[in-house]
Amino acid sequence: MNEPATQCRVARFVPAATHCVRAVLVLLATLAAIPSQAQPGLEGDWLLTLNTEGRTHTGILSFQTRGNDLSAFIDGGPVPITIEADRIEIVLDYRDGGGRLLSYTLAGDIGPDRLAGVLTPSLDEPPGAWHATRVVAEAVAPASPVDFSGIWSRTSSGTAKVHLDYRPAAQAIVDNYSYLDDPSLRCISPGLVRVSGWPYPLEILQTDTQVTILYESFHEVRRIFLDGRGYPEDLPHRSMGYSLGHWDGSTLVVETQMLTAGYVDLHGQPLSENARVVERMSLSDDGQTLRGELTLYDPEYYFRPITRHRSWRKTPATTILEYDCDPYPFFRGLELEGKLDEYWQRMRQRR
């Protein structure tokens, strides 16, 4: 469920392994494209909760009916489903902390407002549990700000769904992607979507008119303006974009535009410069858990929005450390492997 955040871990992915990953992705995409028989009452969004190995991860499970066929999506990506009477089985592809492509099989019962059952990992790991409840739209509430200030350490980065609902342009980029294209290996920030899910802590400073987030990752600084301003017309796009926020009750709603084109994750899902990100951030009742739901709208590349869920635990004793990143090992490794010319060629193509 975690994205590798150090050069030594990411750099282990070589082209041979990438071909295997792509083969599995093609198989999962093919299976997900085969719809199941429609089940009355399942259509719409469900809040999905996975409990595995003492950790909890959340996502959005969506059902869509076309004619007599039912398709399913998790966090914006298609998933294979099988329905027999009041039983359902879903296969969710994800990556673990080492970047391996794995899957969970979610098998369970269909109830009127709840789906629940057993989660079976693809490796020799103990089974877990899962459930999903309907997402009920809530009316916009009067602003009731809460204090997010403090140091927070990540506890979950969501389902880490891999295969997404690509348009042809996105599929072409994914198929051509190489680890040589990953900016983080060169100590360059990979942008908002990826940095928000990395395992390093962050610190939040808050006033009535601005929320400032200091990320240990890449020393990124993000300012969320709450003063009612609009998006500027004379500033360049940036890796973290330009963020404007407002309060919906005690939930901070943030929309970010003006993002630098890049990637959604370390395996090449593209992000265009016209993308926008909407986040909903809220506190648990005890104020010790910060929850974030990030939705990426990028119709240039995806048929459906992409959703990512994050959660952090307040850790006041944690210190934000220096993000020590040196691109030398990456370039030296390319030199030893005879890949420098390929790297520079790909760099010229990206420009």
Count of domains observed in the chain: 2
Q: Are 194 and 317 found together in one domain?
A: yes
Domain membership of residue 255 (yes or no) is yes
How far is Cα 236 from Cα 37, in angstroms, rounded to an integer? 48
Contact criterion met (CB below 8 Å) for 31 and 25? no
Identify the CATH number of the domain in which residue 174 sits.
Answer: 2.40.128.20
Q: Is residue 124 part of a domain?
A: yes
Q: Is the Cβ–Cβ distance between 10 and 100 less than 8 Å?
A: no
Residue 31 Ramachandran class (φ > 0 left, ψ -120 to 50 alpha, else beta): alpha
Same domain, 93 and 170: no
* Domain co-membership, 129 together with 211: no
Measured distance CA(45)–CA(66) in Å, rounded: 16
DSSP secondary structure string for all residues of 68-104:
TEEEEEETTEEE-EEEETTEEEEEEEEE-TT--EEEE
**HSE on the CB side for 41, CA within 13 Å?**
8
Looking at the structure, do residues 215 and 246 belong to the same domain, yes or no? yes
Quick one: 16 and 130 in the same domain? Answer: yes
Same domain, 196 and 69: no
CA distance 93 to 98: 14
3-class SS of residue 268:
coil
* CATH number reported for the structural domain that contains residue 90 in this entry: 2.40.128.120
Who contacts 233 (Cβ-Cβ below 8 Å, separation ≥6)? none
Q: Looking at the structure, do residues 156 and 302 belong to the same domain, yes or no?
A: yes
Q: Which pLDDT belongs to residue 317?
A: 97
Return the ∠ at Cα 108 (arms to 104 and 112), rounded to 5°. 130
Residues 120 and 178 in one domain: no
How much is the pLDDT for 4? 47
Q: State which residues form the domain around 75.
A: 7-134
pLDDT in tens, the chain (351 residues): 555 444 433 332 333 344 444 444 445 555 555 555 555 589 999 999 999 988 999 999 999 998 888 999 999 999 999 999 999 999 999 988 777 889 999 999 999 899 999 999 988 889 999 999 999 888 999 999 999 999 999 999 899 899 999 999 999 999 999 999 999 999 999 999 999 999 999 999 999 999 999 999 999 999 999 999 999 999 999 999 999 999 999 999 999 999 999 999 888 999 999 999 999 999 999 999 999 999 999 999 999 999 999 999 999 999 999 999 999 999 999 999 999 999 999 988 877
Burial of 345 (0-12, 13-18, 19+ CB in 10 A): exposed
How do beta strands 221-225 and 242-248 pair? Answer: parallel
What the block records as the tokens of 260 is 């630098």
One domain, residues 208 and 305: yes
Is residue 330 domain-resident? yes
Render the burial of 88-100: b for 16+ CB within 10 Å, e for the rest: bbbbbbbbeeebe
327 in Cβ contact with 185 (< 8 Å): yes
Tell me which amino acid residue 67 is. G
Q: Which residue has the tokens 């009535």?
A: 208
Task: Give dist(CA 194, CA 198) in Å, integer.
Answer: 7
Residues 154 and 126 in one domain: no
**Domain final residue, candidates 99, 134, 169:** 134
